[in-house]
């Protein structure tokens, strides 16, 4: 039996998902799961990369222990964050997390040279203060001696193989690529005094990095070929979307709502609505909008110390009739000290009824998300001059039946929910294409369709429950 391993690391947890092909279907098995949390260093939120790398190794060793050594593996993580290495291979400055509030300085620096309009025209990338371009211009410490720029998955791949490359889909989120050529925008680098030599060769998903380094082979007791998936998790997730011509919503810590397109859309309207054109598999683009997502409820759950599971929160929410909704994309929800209090404050400030019980809070979070999707769909339809009758919700969030019902009802759209493990599946499909087990993404999506359960929701369900 051949196995393929996806190491999928999100902002709150990571997983090793092993795939085999049985009876023409993908079969998944979770081998190992670990937590990922930001840590505070000198008052800054940072990633704990050494611990993450330890977890990567433990998960691989677990495959060896179970005698299921994968032929290939691929790593994906969230986007925009990076490490800088000096000429000794040591880290230059900290590995900042994108939710750290330090971008103001970089943002102001960049704005002195480029307007937001020009940046959008050049790169096609939405405005987010945490974009790498702003982060790279926000360091307090001198970074001029940095020799290598690696994004988080690039760095983890380097630790496994000794090879330094930059993977394209993740690089597109830096806002350093020219949308017309999909290569580094030399003007931006020059104007911002950035050393172009720190960047590596840029490789596409489904490229092979070759074997584990000899040291790693010894440590892990096996040899595995390392393949680049779309190393940006959302890039991998969108590969697993199975409905042609539908809206795609990758639902996890973030809600990433958009479409897949072969041509980027860079218009005044798309800029105003803050839609982005992220690089995808085969130079497809993800024309999408970042919506704050389930992060809000994850934080609420953390604050009550996991007193209720996510499905219990949904049950409590089902009993609520709280009517208010809030703007989920308000900056205050990016990394508040206390999410529950921040939600309450939102309503207090506006002198509106305040959700107090945990059921009301959860209900109001889900409904506010559904209304923000409705808004984003409206914008998307206006920009593309198309109407969409279906939304394909992928990722862990598509298991939330209440939210699916709300979306179908509030957005008046058919919901196709699944696959749940979209990111790991997309990651594995990139490996299968490299291994010539499937021909291309179209064939990969057919395989996904055959392999996983997909549910359908039509409107009115949630309304009839009220």
CB 5 within 8 A of CB 57: no
Decide if residue 79 touches ligand LFR (CB under 6 A).
yes
Tokens found for residue 169: 């889909």
d(CA 382, CA 392): 19
CB of 215 to ligand LFR, least distance (A): 30
Q: Which is nearer to ligand LFR, 175 or 368 (CB)?
A: 175
Q: Does 4 interact with ligand LFR (rule: CB under 6 A)?
A: no
What residues from 297 to 356 belong to the interface with ligand LFR (CB under 6 A)? none
Query: Taking contact as CB under 6 A, which single stretch among the options 64-72, 76-84, 333-341, 349-357 is the one that binds ligand LFR?
Result: 76-84
Q: Check residue 135 for interaction with ligand LFR (CB under 6 A).
A: no
**11 or 328: whose CB is closer to ligand LFR?**
11
What Å distances lie between residue 265 and 96, 186, 384, CA to CA? 30, 22, 9
- Give alpha helix (H) positions in 92-226: 103-111, 116-123, 132-136, 152-161, 168-171, 186-191, 214-220
From the CB of 290, what's the least distance to ligand LFR, in Å? 5
Stretch that binds ligand LFR, among 78-86, 203-211, 372-380, 397-405 (CB under 6 A): 78-86
Q: Which is nearer to ligand LFR, 138 or 451 (CB)?
A: 138
Helix locations, 26-151, DSSP H: 49-65, 103-111, 116-123, 132-136
86 touches 43 (CB < 8 A): no
- Exactly one of 253, 329, 404, 431 binds ligand LFR (CB under 6 A); that residue is 253
Nearest distance from C-beta of residue 136 to ligand LFR, angstroms: 15
By CB under 6 A, name the one of 234, 301, 329, 434 that touches ligand LFR: 234
Q: Could you tell me the two tokens for 91?
A: 């880290």
The reply on whether position 78 binds ligand LFR by CB under 6 A is yes
Omega of the bond leading into 423 within 30 degrees of 0 (cis)? no
Nearer CB in complex with ligand LFR: 16/414: 16
For residue 8, the minimal CB distance to ligand LFR (Å) is: 10
Q: Residue 263 in 3-state DSSP?
A: coil
Least spacing, CB of residue 241 vs ligand LFR, in Å:
14
The answer to whether 233 contacts ligand LFR (rule: CB under 6 A) is: yes
Q: Which helix (H) or strand (E) holds 259?
A: strand 255-261
Q: Is 124 in the site for ligand LFR (CB under 6 A)?
A: no
The answer to whether residue 254 forms part of the interface with ligand LFR (CB under 6 A) is: yes
Site string for ligand LFR, 276-305 (x = CB under 6 A): --------------x---------------
Identify which of residues 128 and 161 has a Cβ nearer to ligand LFR in the complex.
128
Q: Is 233 a catalytic residue?
A: yes
Beta bridge partners of 82: 151
Per CB under 6 A, the list member of 98, 107, 322, 457 interacting with ligand LFR is: 98
**Two tokens at 231?**
């190393």
Q: Which is nearer to ligand LFR, 72 or 251 (CB)?
A: 251
Among 110-118, 230-238, 400-408, 434-442, the segment contacting ligand LFR (CB under 6 A): 230-238
Going from the C-alpha of 155 to that of each of 50, 52, 391, the distances in angstroms are: 11, 11, 35
Cβ-Cβ contacts under 8 Å for 349 (sequence gap 6 or more): none
| Secondary structure E strands in 367-449 | 390-394, 414-417
CB of 291 to ligand LFR, least distance (A): 10
- 90 by DSSP, 3-state: which? coil
DSSP alpha helix (H) spans, 285-400: 295-303, 310-318, 339-349, 358-384
Q: Tokens for 346?
A: 């939102």
User: Pick the catalytic residue: 233, 245, 330, 360?
Assistant: 233
Binding residue (CB under 6 A) for ligand LFR from 28, 73, 80, 370? 80
The single-letter DSSP state of residue 92 is P
Name which of 56 and 292 has its Cβ closer to ligand LFR: 292
Residues in contact with 369: Cβ distance below 8 Å, sequence separation at least 6, in sequence order: 255, 291, 292, 293, 294, 296, 328, 403
Distance from the Cα of residue 345 to its chain's centroid: 28
Closest CB to ligand LFR among residues 234, 277:
234
- Minimum CB distance to ligand LFR, residue 257 (Å): 11
Task: Count Cα neighbours of 105 within 13 Å in the Cβ-side half-sphere.
Answer: 10
Question: Which of 276, 264, 255 has its CA nearest to residue 126?
Answer: 276
Cβ 36 to ligand LFR, closest distance in Å?
11
Which positions are annotated as active-site residues? 233
Residues near ligand LFR (CB under 6 A): 10-11, 78-80, 98, 232-234, 253-254, 256, 290
């Amino acid at each position: 039996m051949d196995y393929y391993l996806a190491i999928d690391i999100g902002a709150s947890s990571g997983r090793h998902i092993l795939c085999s092909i049985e009876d023409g279907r993908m079969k998944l098995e979770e081998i190992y799961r670990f937590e990922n949390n930001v840590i505070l260093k000198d008052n800054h939120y940072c990633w704990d990369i050494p611990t993450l790398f330890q977890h990567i190794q433990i998960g691989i060793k677990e495959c060896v222990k179970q005698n299921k050594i994968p032929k290939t593996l691929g790593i994906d993580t969230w986007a925009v964050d990076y490490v800088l290495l000096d000429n000794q291979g040591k880290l230059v400055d900290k590995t900042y997390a994108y939710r750290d509030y330090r971008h103001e300085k970089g943002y102001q620096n960049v704005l002195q040279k480029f307007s937001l309009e020009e940046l959008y025209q050049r790169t096609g990338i939405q405005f987010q203060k945490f974009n790498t371009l702003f982060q790279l211009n926000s360091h307090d410490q001198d970074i001029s001696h940095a020799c290598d720029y690696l994004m988080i998955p690039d760095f983890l791949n380097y630790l496994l193989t000794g090879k330094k490359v930059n993977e394209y889909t993740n690089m597109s989120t830096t806002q350093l690529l020219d949308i017309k050529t999909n290569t580094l925008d030399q003007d931006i680098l020059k104007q911002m005094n950035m050393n172009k030599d720190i960047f590596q060769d840029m490789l596409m998903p489904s490229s092979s990095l070759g074997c584990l380094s000899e040291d790693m082979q010894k440590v892990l007791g096996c040899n595995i070929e390392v393949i680049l998936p779309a190393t940006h998790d959302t890039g991998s997730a969108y590969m697993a979307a199975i409905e042609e011509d539908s809206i795609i919503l990758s639902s996890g810590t973030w809600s990433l709502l958009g479409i897949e397109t072969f041509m980027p859309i860079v218009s005044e309207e798309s800029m105003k609505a803050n839609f982005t054109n992220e690089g995808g598999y085969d130079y497809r683009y993800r024309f999408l909008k970042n919506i704050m997502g389930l992060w809000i409820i994850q934080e609420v759950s953390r604050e009550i110390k996991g007193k209720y599971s996510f499905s219990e929160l949904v049950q409590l929410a089902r009993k609520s009739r709280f009517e208010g909704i809030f703007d989920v994309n308000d900056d205050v929800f990016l990394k508040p000290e206390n999410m529950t209090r921040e939600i309450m404050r939102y309503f207090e400030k506006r002198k509106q009824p305040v959700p107090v019980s945990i059921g009301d809070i959860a209900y109001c979070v889900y409904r506010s998300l559904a209304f923000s999707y409705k808004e984003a769909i409206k914008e998307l339809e206006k920009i593309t001059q198309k109407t969409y009758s279906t939304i394909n919700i992928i990722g862990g969030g598509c298991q939330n039946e209440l939210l699916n019902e709300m979306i179908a009802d509030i957005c008046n759209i058919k919901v196709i929910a699944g696959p749940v493990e979209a990111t790991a599946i997309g990651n594995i499909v990139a490996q299968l294409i490299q291994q010539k087990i499937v021909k291309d993404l179209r064939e990969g999506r057919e395989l996904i369709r055959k392999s996983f359960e997909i549910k359908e929701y039509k409107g009115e369900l949630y309304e009839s429950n009220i």
